[in-house]
Structure formats: structure tokens, C-alpha cells
């Protein structure tokens, strides 16, 4: 298979973790007989330095001409956000990319590997044999895209945020969730606030209707407040978590904490046509950038998601997942996931990449 991939490494640890993901992809290409044409493009502060903007036209063109986008991360240190280079950097790059390509489905898998149980904030009895949740978040509707205004009514300030959802948008994301569930443990938990919100009542009605097309999958509805609680009390009960935009924004962060480190988490944003952007869930981590200690696993697993969702290369994607799990089972840890009880010293970004590649071919 021949595929063009736009590689947008970005800022901070972006280029460091991206190098490891690229090494893994090239090894997969060699082992499985594929050709990946990698086209580097500038984004974020790195693009601003050369083009004076965070998402230059040239980058847009490279993305348009590609079969998928592999994204690192953007942004500078929080204390330097006032500098023109970093001001609105995240909004001007990643949010613009999301809007430009109309990404409407966000997939964020979060896994507690048995080997990393010590890094999880929950007790071992709660995480059992490991947690494996896929967050499916709708990205294009909800309160973020409605009208926002503050007005003075009879001398009192009033804030108004409009929440809207249409049945087509809800049905699209529900199909995405059930299709993903079919390849997993076949359970979808749909989150809403149907006891209060009209949007949630429509959400529940449409999701229930769509579920009839997937009789092999189980559907349960949970109110968002109860869901937030159950995720901590019994995370092993969840498989696919289907959420509207705002509840998804909040709960997917709650779920991500279970994995122990932000550096472990991949994500995918897909549009209606299956075109996707793949990126780690973390930011550019300026506090550790340039030290060679960032965890590359989130970026490597993002590349694995790209193989699976954009190129349907399921075997190749599974090979990467197995290699990551084996590396963790062997006791290898970057600093963010290491604990004082570990047998081995924490390893560098490059060492973790090399070990995963070794496990890929052995």
C-alpha cells in the first residue's frame, strides 16, 4: 500500500516524540511491504518563526494532498503566552485544522496496562486486570458553537450560551461509536443530561434509534453526573463511551488520568469522509522539551491509530500495540511512568522508541 502522510511535528517535545513514531512507521512499512511518503510541514510556533503565522498556507496544501495527518503538539511555555510567537498558538493551529477539515469525531482510547498498575491513581482492586475505554466525543456541535453573549437586562448582567444539536450530527457520531464497539467488547455507554436538557433528550432518542441497527451491541444510557462517578468507582465496566462535545471534553480528561501519564495517550479526529488527524492527547510539555526524556508512546500509538482508521491496516496497528505492551511488560519506563519500585532505571525517548522497534520485529 502507498500512502502520503503529512507530518506536523510542531513545538516542544513534538519533534522528539515524532521522530520515534516515524522510525516505527518506517519499520512497519519495511516489514509489511508498504510505502509511506512522509511530507513534513510547519505548524505552531515553529511555523510562526518562518511564516509569521501558526497554520501557513503551505501546511494546509500539504495536508490537503495527504491521506492522513500525523500531528505532534504545539504551544510554548505558559509564562510566555503573551509573546506573539505563542499567543493563541493552539487555537490558530490545531483548532483551525479541526475546523478546516471538519473533523467531527474524536476518538481517545485510554488503557491501564497491567504492567503500569502502579502508575494508576486508583487502587489495584478497582482496576482489576486493566481498564480499556474508548472515548468517542462529538466535536462539531453543542454549546461551543452556539451563540455566546453577555447582556445587561434591567441593570443586571446576564450571560447567554446557546446549546444546539441536530439529529443528523447525533446519528453520525452514534454510528461511529457502535462501529468502534463492534471491534471491541460491544458495549456503548451514551452520556447525557436527559433529565434537564432538550439537547440531551434528542441525543438519547437518536442514539436509541441508531442502536437498533447494531443488535449485536449493548447500549446503556448514563446521566453525566452519574457517569463521572462510575468512571472512578468501576472503570472496568466501560467499553465505548459516547459523548456530546462538552461532556466529552470533561470526561475524556477524567478517563485520561487513569492511564497514569498524558504521554501514554493517542487520539484521532476524523471527518465524514474518513480523513483523519492523529495526535497524542498531551501538549508540547515545554517543561521537559529538549531533555530527551518525553514518553513517545502516545505519539507511536497515534501512528498505530492512523494505520487502523485511515488505512485499514489492522494487523500492522496491532503489531505496534503488541510491541508497546511487550516493552512495558519487560519493565522499560520513561520518567513519567517510572516508580521507585521499578527494576530498571528510567530510559530516554530514543531508547523507548528503539525498544518498541526491537519488540516489533522479534
Which of the residues 118, 132, 172, 249 is marked catalytic?
249
CA neighbor of 172 nearest in space, from 100, 38, 39, 270: 270
Active-site residue, from 31, 88, 161, 225: 225
Q: Known catalytic residue: 225?
A: yes
Per the listing, cell 471491541 goes with 184
Binding site for ligand NAD (CB under 6 A): 13, 17, 73-76, 90, 94, 261-263, 279, 282-288, 294-295, 298, 336
How far is 62 from 56, CA to CA, in rounded Å? 10
- Residue for cell digits 530498571? 344
Contact (Cβ atoms closer than 8 angstroms) between residue 110 and residue 256: yes
Nearer to ligand NAD, 13 or 188 (CB): 13
All 3 cell numbers of residue 62?
Answer: 500539504
Is the Cβ of residue 42 or residue 219 nearer to ligand NAD in the bound state?
42
Which of the residues 3, 23, 111, 193 is marked catalytic? 193
Nearer to ligand NAD, 42 or 207 (CB): 42
DSSP element (H, E) containing 7: strand 2-10
Which of 31, 144, 166, 291 is flagged as catalytic?
Answer: 144
Q: How far is the CB of 231 from ligand NAD (least distance, A)?
A: 20
Is 291 a known active-site residue? no
Is 329 a known active-site residue? Answer: no
CB of 18: closest distance to ligand NAD in angstroms?
11
Q: How many CB atoms lie within 10 A of CB 115?
A: 18
From the list 334, 335, 331, 325, the residue with the least C-alpha distance to 356 is: 325
Q: Which of 144, 46, 139 is nearest to 92 (CA)?
A: 46
Supply the minimum distance, in Å, between the C-beta of residue 284 and ligand NAD.
Answer: 4
Nearer of residues 24 and 288 to ligand NAD, judged by Cβ: 288
Name the minimum Å distance from CB 360 to ligand NAD. 20
Q: Is 236 exposed, middle or buried (0-12, 13-18, 19+ CB in 10 A)?
A: middle
Active site members: 144, 193, 225, 249, 253
Amino acid at each position: 500500500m502507498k500512502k502520503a502522510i503529512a507530518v506536523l511535528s510542531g513545538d516542544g517535545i513534538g519533534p522528539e516524540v515524532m521522530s520515534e513514531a516515524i522510525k516505527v512507521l518506517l519499520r512497519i512499512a519495511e516489514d509489511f511491504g508498504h510505502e509511506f511518503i512522509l511530507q513534513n510541514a510547519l505548524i505552531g510556533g515553529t511555523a510562526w518563526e518562518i511564516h509569521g503565522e501558526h497554520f501557513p498556507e503551505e501546511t494546509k496544501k500539504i495536508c490537503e494532498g495527504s491521506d492522513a495527518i500525523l500531528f505532534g503538539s504545539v504551544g510554548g511555555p505558559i509564562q510566555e503566552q503573551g509573546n506573539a510567537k505563542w499567543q493563541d498558538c493552539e487555537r490558530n493551529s490545531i483548532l483551525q485544522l479541526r475546523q478546516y477539515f471538519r473533523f467531527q469525531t474524536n476518538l481517545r482510547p485510554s488503557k491501564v496496562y497491567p504492567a503500569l498498575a502502579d502508575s494508576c491513581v486508583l487502587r489495584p482492586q478497582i482496576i482489576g486486570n486493566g481498564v480499556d475505554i474508548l472515548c468517542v466525543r462529538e466535536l462539531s456541535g453543542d454549546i461551543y458553537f452556539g451563540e455566546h453573549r453577555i447582556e445587561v437586562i434591567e441593570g443586571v448582567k446576564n450571560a447567554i450560551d446557546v446549546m444546539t444539536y441536530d439529529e443528523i450530527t447525533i446519528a453520525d457520531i452514534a454510528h461511529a461509536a457502535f462501529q468502534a464497539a463492534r471491534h471491541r467488547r460491544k458495549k456503548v455507554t451514551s452520556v447525557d443530561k436527559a433529565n434537564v436538557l432538550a439537547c440531551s433528550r434528542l441525543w438519547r432518542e437518536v442514539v436509541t434509534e441508531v442502536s437498533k441497527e447494531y443488535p449485536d451491541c449493548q447500549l446503556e444510557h448514563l446521566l453525566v453526573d452519574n457517569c463521572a462517578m462510575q468512571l472512578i468507582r468501576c472503570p472496568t465496566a466501560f467499553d465505548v463511551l459516547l459523548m456530546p462535545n462538552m461532556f466529552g471534553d470533561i470526561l475524556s480528561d477524567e478517563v485520561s488520568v487513569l492511564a497514569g501519564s498524558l504521554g501514554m495517550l493517542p487520539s484521532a479526529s476524523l471527518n465524514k469522509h474518513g480523513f483523519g488527524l492523529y495526535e497524542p492527547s498531551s501538549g508540547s510539555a515545554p517543561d521537559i522539551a529538549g531533555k530527551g526524556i518525553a514518553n513517545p508512546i502516545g505519539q507511536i500509538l497515534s501512528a498505530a491509530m492512523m494505520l487502523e482508521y485511515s488505512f485499514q491496516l489492522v494487523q500492522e496497528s496491532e503489531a505496534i500495540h503488541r510491541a508497546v505492551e511487550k516493552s512495558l511488560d519487560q519493565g522499560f519506563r520513561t520518567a513519567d511512568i517510572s516508580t521507585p519500585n521499578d527494576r530498571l532505571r528510567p530510559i530516554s525517548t530514543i531508547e523507548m522508541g528503539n525498544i518498541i522497534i526491537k519488540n516489533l520485529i522479534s
